[in-house]
Structures are given as structure tokens and as C-alpha cells.
Amino acid sequence: MYVPADIDETSVEQRILEQGSRIRMHGAVTGWAGLRWRGTTFFDGTAAADELLPVPVVVGHGLLRPDPRITVSFEQLPPRERELVDGVWTAVAERALFDEVRRHRVMRQAIVDIEMAIAAHEVTADGFRAYVASRNAWTGVGFARDAAAVAGFGCWSPQEVRMVLVWVIDAELTRPLCNRPVFDLAGNLLAIPDLFDEEAGCAGEYQGADHKDGERHREDVARHERLRTAGIEVFEVVGGDLRDADLVAKRMHAARDRSLFLPPERRGWTLEKPAWWEPWAQAHGLA
């Protein structure tokens, strides 16, 4: 096989394709590369300082010539755990995620990985937990089991996950709802908060750099005003804040302390979905 000289060899898909094309009778691209090849764009194949990660490949009892651009695992790979995806033998999503979670052994990052695979509809929280439960005696299975037990919040971005983890781990608050639509009593959509504490009536939102422009910022202000008018307290977390978990945890506790903790019959909001919601959500990719 040959690669044209003008091809960008640093492209993540190109790197996966080149290494995946070496696999024949046994083996599959796995880990971050398997998830990326399956369409989960969060996995970009880089580490700190934009270092390019080697493409992880699992070959079972097969053989593959060593190459500094790959890492080779000789763990078991049942035939049912690999499939041909766009011409490349790729581990099924659960196996690829299992291998990626065990690769870096960092709990919060592992939970981010699981959440992003769920958000991309490659796995489900229950399905991944069941897969991990079947991996008894595998290296790192205890760590993967712990990460899978926490994951399943329903976050849509990595930074949302990190914010939610500050809520449950550092602030030691009860597990929140994530990306659940909140309506007023007339059935109008108030917002879809990144984080929502139903008991307190408290919402948290992560604001990335794209929220700084005028129109996006105006939309954020209007949304927060709707929530506060309905009796919901709101706090914000921006990118740099997440480097100081204690600061964010204090902000979360302060917002929750200001919340009204109203019983359902006195609330100016509801989580009950009106009849129009499901068709609208499906049409807008939110179902």
C-alpha cells in the first residue's frame, strides 16, 4: 500500500486509516481510534500539548509488525467484538470504550469518555455497564466498573461533564439531572439546563468561549431571566473556573443555598413534558 506524498499524515482519520489498513485476519482498531472511526468526534487522538497519540490496535492471537505509530494489545478479541466499518476492522463500541477507559486510568477523564460515547449514541450507560460486568478478571476492570457506575448523566459536552463531576464529587451534592427540559406552568419551554437540581430548583450552566459573542450572550441572559422569573436559581461556570474545583463547589453551594426548595404544588415550573415537546424535540435532534 502507498500513501500520496501530499497527504496530511497528522490527520486523525488518516492515521487511523493507515494503521487500520494493516489489519487482516485478526485484530481491530480500538480505544480512542476505534471510537473516532465510528464517528465519535470528541476523540481526536491527541494528548497534552497536542501530542499525537499512537493508534491502539488489539490483535488477540494475531501478529502485527511493530511500529512507533501504534500500540499493540494481545488481549483476547472474540470475532463478535470486531466489525468492518468503512473498510477498517474496528472494535465494537463497547470494547473500544472499555479499552480507552483502561488506557489512561484517570477517573474523571474516563467518565468524560463514557459520556461522550453515550452522547454520540455509540453506547448506552446500561449497555456499557453490562459489558464491563462481563469482563471479570480483565486488567483494569475494577477501574472501568467504578467509572461506568458514575457515568450516565446525559451530558452533551466534555466541559459539562467536568462541571457535573465538581457538583457530585467536590461539592458532594446529590446527583443532578442533565439536559432535561424545564417548562413553565403554561407548557412553554424555559430552558434545557446543563445541570438541574429538582429538589432545590437550582440550575447550572457551563459557558464556553462561544457564549461571549453578543447574540449568544443575549440569549443566555434571556434564558436565565426566564428561569429566575419562574423561581429557579441559576449559576454559571466558565472555562477557566474548572481549574479550581473548590471555587466552583463554593459557587454551587451558594446558589443552592439561595434556592427556594419549593414543594411541587408551589413551583412556577415543571419537568412534565407538554404534548408538543416530543415531536418538536425529534425534529430538532433532541429526542
Tens-place pLDDT, residues 25-52 = 889 999 999 999 999 999 999 998 789 9
Query: Average pLDDT for residues 64-89, to the nearest whole number?
Result: 93
158-283 carries CATH number 1.10.10: no
In percent, how much of the chain has pLDDT > 70? 98
Nearest C-alpha neighbor of 21 from the set 52, 61, 65: 65
End-to-end CA distance of the chain: 43
Res 230: pLDDT: 97
CATH 3.40.960 range(s) for the chain read: 158-283
Query: Average pLDDT for residues 89-113, to the nearest whole number?
Result: 96
- What pTM does this model have? 0.94
C-alpha cell at 167: 457538583
E-strand stretches of 112-243 = 182-184, 189-191, 195-197, 202-207, 233-238
Query: Is-contact 226 191, C-beta < 8 A?
Result: yes
**pLDDT tens digit string along 187-216?**
999 999 999 999 999 999 999 865 566 678
Stretch among 63-67, 95-99, 209-213 having the lowest mean pLDDT: 209-213
CA distances from 89 to 38, 57, 104 (A): 11, 10, 23
Residue 6 has pLDDT above 90, yes or no: no
Query: Parallel, antiparallel, or unpaired: how do β-strands 55-58 and 82-85 relate?
Result: unpaired
Query: Parallel, antiparallel, or unpaired: how do β-strands 55-58 and 28-29 relate?
Result: antiparallel
